[in-house]
Homo-oligomer: A and B are copies of this chain.
Amino acid sequence: MDILVPPYRLARRVERLKPSTIREMLKVTQNPDVISFGGGLPAAELFPVADVSAAQDRVMRARGAAALQYSVTDGVPELRAWVANRLRRDGVAVHADDVIITNGSQQGLDLYARVFLDPGDVVALENPSYLGAIQAFDAFEPDYLAVASDAHGIVPEALETALGAADPKPKFLYLIPNYQNPTGNTLALERRAQVVAICARHGVPILEDDPYGEITFAREPWPPLLSHASQGAVTYLGTGSKMVAPGLRVAWMVVTDHALRERIVTAKQGADLHSSPYTQYVFHAYVEDGSRLDAHLDVVRATYRARRDAMTAALAAEMPAHVRWNVPDGGMFLWATVGAGIDTEVLFEHAVRDGVVFVPGRPFYPAKDRGDGMRLNFSAMPPERIAEGIARLGRAVRHLGG
Whether A52 pairs with B60 at a CB distance below 8 angstroms is yes
User: A57 with B53: in contact, given A2-B197, A73-B23 (CB under 8 Å)?
Assistant: yes
Whether B68 pairs with A47 at a CB distance below 8 angstroms is yes
Give the nearest-CB partner of A15 in chain B. Answer: B263
* Chain A 104-122 near chain B by CB (<8 Å), digits 1 or 0: 1011001000111110010
Whether A271 pairs with B110 at a CB distance below 8 angstroms is yes
User: A116 with B57: in contact, given A4-B199, A68-B248, A232-B6 (CB under 8 Å)?
Assistant: no
Give the nearest-CB partner of A168 in chain B. Answer: B9
**Is A67 interfacial (CB 8 A cutoff)?**
yes
Q: With a CB–CB cut-off of 8 A, which chain B residues contact A68?
A: 44, 47, 49, 52, 245-248
User: A270 with B17: in contact, given A53-B64, A118-B11, A247-B278 (CB under 8 Å)?
Assistant: yes
Q: With a CB–CB cut-off of 8 A, which chain B residues contact A47?
A: 64-65, 68-69
Q: Which of B199, B248, B266 contacts A18 (CB 8 A)?
A: B266
**Is A71 interfacial (CB 8 A cutoff)?**
yes
**Is A273 interfacial (CB 8 A cutoff)?**
yes
Interface residues of A in 206-231 (CB under 8 A from B): 228-231
Whether B118 pairs with A139 at a CB distance below 8 angstroms is no
- For this complex, into which size category does the number of interface residues on chain A fall? 35 or more
CA distance A53 to B65 in the complex (A): 11
Smallest beta-carbon distance A38→chain B, Å: 13
Q: With a CB–CB cut-off of 8 A, which chain B residues contact A20?
A: 269
Whether B10 pairs with A270 at a CB distance below 8 angstroms is no
**Is A262 interfacial (CB 8 A cutoff)?**
yes
CA distance A44 to B64 in the complex (A): 9
**Is A14 interfacial (CB 8 A cutoff)?**
yes
Q: With a CB–CB cut-off of 8 A, which chain B residues contact A116?
A: 8-11
Give the nearest-CB partner of A204 in chain B. Answer: B4
Whether B19 pairs with A275 at a CB distance below 8 angstroms is no
**Is A89 interfacial (CB 8 A cutoff)?**
no
CA distance A273 to B50 in the complex (A): 26
Whether A259 pairs with B6 at a CB distance below 8 angstroms is yes
Given contacts A44-B68, A52-B68, 15 further A-B contacts (CB under 8 A): A4-B203, A4-B204, A6-B257, A6-B259, A6-B260, A13-B114, A14-B266, A23-B73, A40-B70, A49-B68, A53-B56, A103-B275, A107-B272, A249-B272, A278-B279
